[in-house]
């Protein structure tokens, strides 16, 4: 995949809570099964009145579709009985929270509902409102919150690369936040990766400042060509960045004397299903450049490079095991 040819739609500003609330209200009325013709017409007029109304309507439809896979979050029987006040109120609060309140993401995998996300195996390029560029790696999710005080990206999962631009609307700092802390750009191009245990920052140009979430934590400066990993309490001393750390932006996985289990874990991010490595071959090492757009071919090549067999129980359940003698 050539990311240079990917479309780069501009990122809109976040929805206002008032418009989001109105969208939820009209949505629940229409989904109740009890809406009158006048109410349906009024709902249509509301959507047509302002592009932001229509955007909010699409957002609540997206959220509602995701909630079908997490029905426990809403009261039972949301559809028909929803006009009864207690259930209606609970449904509205749940939908509104998912549309506008970041804390609600902790209820379940709400990073599925981020402003922008990429599917497994996809890389997605976006233009930021200030002219900066954002590239999401596979299975990643990000929120964008530009305000009068700061330009904020919230990385919910996965990996992003950002190229910042000067702020022509003022002197707002550019921040990338994860669950572990905040990274402030100092006129730069850098990569952020988040997992459950911590966040990793690789600086490709200029520098960043890392501020872990704990108030007492030391703020760490990281220069170009270096990387640092941090959790909520501590940012490690910078170390030399891995060669070609941005190879994924060109659809490549670079391995240099990499353990097979580490390689497989990275490859698994780019393909659906389960990819396992048997313990007896986990420590084998390999080097090379591998195309991420065709992970089946990568797996086939492993059997030529290493003494392993690639066993397919199904397309989505693959095991790398010792080759049979």
In the prediction, which pLDDT does 97 show?
Answer: 53
Confidence of residue 187 (pLDDT cuts 50, 70, 90): confident
207 within a domain of the structure (yes/no): yes
| CA distance readout (Å), 105 to 89, 112, 157, 192 | 20, 9, 12, 20
Shared domain for 280 and 206, answered yes or no, is: no
pLDDT of residue 106: 38
2 part of a folded domain: no
Q: Is residue 10 part of a domain?
A: no
Q: What are phi and psi of 194, to 5 degrees?
A: -125, 140
266 contacts 286 by C-beta, under 8 angstroms = no
Q: Are residues 121 and 221 in the same domain?
A: yes
pLDDT per residue as tens digits for the range 265-322:
999 999 887 888 999 999 999 999 999 999 999 999 999 999 999 999 877 789 999 9
Adjacent-strand bridge partners of 158: 194
Q: How many helices (H) and strands (E) does the chain have?
A: 6, 18
Both 120 and 235 in a single domain? yes
Work out the widest C-alpha separation in the chain, in whole angstroms. 76
Domain boundary among 50, 81, 109: 109
CA dist 124 and 171 (Å) reads 28
Same domain, yes or no, for 99 and 121? no
- At 171 the pLDDT is 86
pLDDT value of residue 54? 87
Same domain, 228 and 129: yes
Look at residue 11 and tell me if it is in a domain: no
Query: Around 49, how many Cα atoms within 13 Å sit in the side-chain half-sphere?
Result: 13
- In tens, the pLDDT along 74-123 reads 344 433 333 333 344 455 555 555 554 443 333 334 445 678 889 889 99
Do 228 and 170 share a structural domain?
yes
Tell me whether residue 245 is in a domain.
no
What length is written for the chain? 325
Tally of structural domains, the chain: 3
Distance CA 95, CA 63 (A): 7
Shortest CA distance to 163 belongs to which of 128, 193, 139? 128
101 and 200 both lie in a single domain: no
In the predicted structure, residue 71 carries a pLDDT above the cut 60: no
Q: CA–CA separation, 125 vs 154, rounded Å?
A: 16
Residue 68: which of 121, 14, 113, 22 has the closest Cα?
Answer: 113
Helix boundaries (H) for 168-279: 260-268
The yes-or-no verdict on residue 3 having pLDDT over 70 is no
The domain boundary, picked from 191, 206, 240, lies at 240
Query: Is 6 among the domain residues?
Result: no
Cα–Cα distance, 245 to 234 (Å, whole number): 23
Bridge-based pairing state of the strands 174-178 and 252-259: unpaired
Does residue 313 fall inside a structural domain?
Answer: yes
Token output for 123: 């890389």
Question: What proportion of the chain, given as a percentage, has pLDDT over 90?
Answer: 51
Alpha-carbon distance of 57 to 223, in angstroms, equals 43
32: left (phi over 0), alpha (psi -120 to 50) or beta: alpha
Helix extents (H) in the chain: 17-31, 37-49, 51-67, 85-100, 260-268, 295-305
* Res 203 pLDDT > 70: yes
Report, as an integer, the average pLDDT of 23-31: 81
Q: Name the domain boundary from 215, 240, 265.
A: 240
pLDDT surpassing 70 at residue 196? yes
Task: Please provide the DSSP assignment of 141-194 as one string.
Answer: EEEEEE-SS-EEEEEEEEEEEEE----TTS-PPEEEEETTEEEEESS-EEEEEE
Mean of all residue pLDDT scores within the chain: 82
Name the band, by pLDDT with cuts 50, 70 and 90, for residue 69.
very low
Give the domain range for residue 44.
17-109
> Which pLDDT belongs to residue 223?
97
Give the model confidence (pLDDT) of 112-163 as tens digits. 567 888 988 999 999 999 999 999 999 899 999 898 899 999 999 999 999 9
* Segment (H or E) for 274: strand 274-277
The answer, yes or no, to whether residue 10 has pLDDT greater than 60, is: no
Closest CA to 73 of 48, 96, 102, 41: 96
CATH classification of the domain holding 282: 3.55.50.30
Q: Are residues 22 and 101 in the same domain?
A: yes
Q: Are 166 and 228 in the same domain?
A: yes
Query: Does residue 146 share a domain with residue 100?
Result: no
Q: Domain holding 130: CATH number?
A: 2.60.120.1440
For residue 89, the SS3 value is helix
Position 11 scores a pLDDT of 54
DSSP single-letter state for residue 10: B
d(CA 93, CA 74): 9
Structure tokens at 4: 């240079």
The DSSP output letter for 212 is E
182 with 270, same domain: the answer is: no
Identify whether residues 227 and 256 lie together within a single domain.
no
Range among 68-72, 197-201, 272-276 with highest mean pLDDT value: 197-201
Structural domain contains residue 246? no
């Amino acid at each position: 995949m050539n990311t240079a040819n990917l479309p780069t739609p501009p990122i809109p500003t976040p929805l206002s809570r008032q418009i989001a609330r109105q969208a939820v209200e009209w949505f629940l009325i229409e989904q109740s099964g009890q809406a009158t013709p006048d109410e349906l017409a009024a709902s249509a007029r509301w959507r047509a009145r302002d592009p932001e109304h229509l955007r909010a309507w699409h957002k609540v439809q997206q959220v509602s579709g995701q909630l079908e896979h997490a029905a426990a979050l809403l009261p039972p029987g949301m559809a028909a009985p929803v006009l009864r006040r207690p259930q209606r109120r609970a449904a509205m609060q749940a939908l509104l929270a998912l549309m506008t309140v970041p804390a609600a993401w902790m209820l379940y995998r709400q990073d599925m509902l981020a402003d922008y996300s990429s599917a497994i195996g996809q890389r997605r390029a976006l233009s930021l409102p200030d002219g900066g560029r954002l590239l999401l790696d596979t299975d990643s999710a990000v929120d964008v919150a530009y305000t009068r005080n700061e330009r904020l990206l919230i990385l919910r999962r996965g990996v992003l690369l950002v190229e910042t631009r000067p702020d022509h609307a003022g002197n707002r700092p550019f921040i990338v936040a994860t669950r572990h802390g905040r990274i402030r750009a100092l006129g730069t191009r850098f990569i952020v990766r988040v997992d459950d245990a911590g966040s990793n920052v690789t600086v490709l140009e200029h520098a960043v400042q890392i501020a872990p979430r704990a108030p007492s934590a030391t703020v760490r400066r990281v220069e170009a060509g270096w990387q640092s990993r941090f959790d909520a309490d501590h940012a490690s001393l910078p170390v030399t960045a891995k060669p070609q750390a941005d190879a994924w932006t060109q659809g490549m996985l670079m391995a240099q004397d990499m353990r097979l289990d580490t390689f497989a874990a990275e490859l698994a991010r780019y393909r659906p299903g389960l990819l396992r490595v048997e313990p007896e071959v986990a420590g084998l090492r390999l080097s090379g450049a591998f195309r991420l757009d065709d992970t089946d071919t990568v797996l086939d090549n492993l059997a030529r490079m290493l003494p392993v067999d690639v066993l397919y129980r199904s397309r989505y359940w693959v095991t790398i095991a010792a080759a049979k003698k």
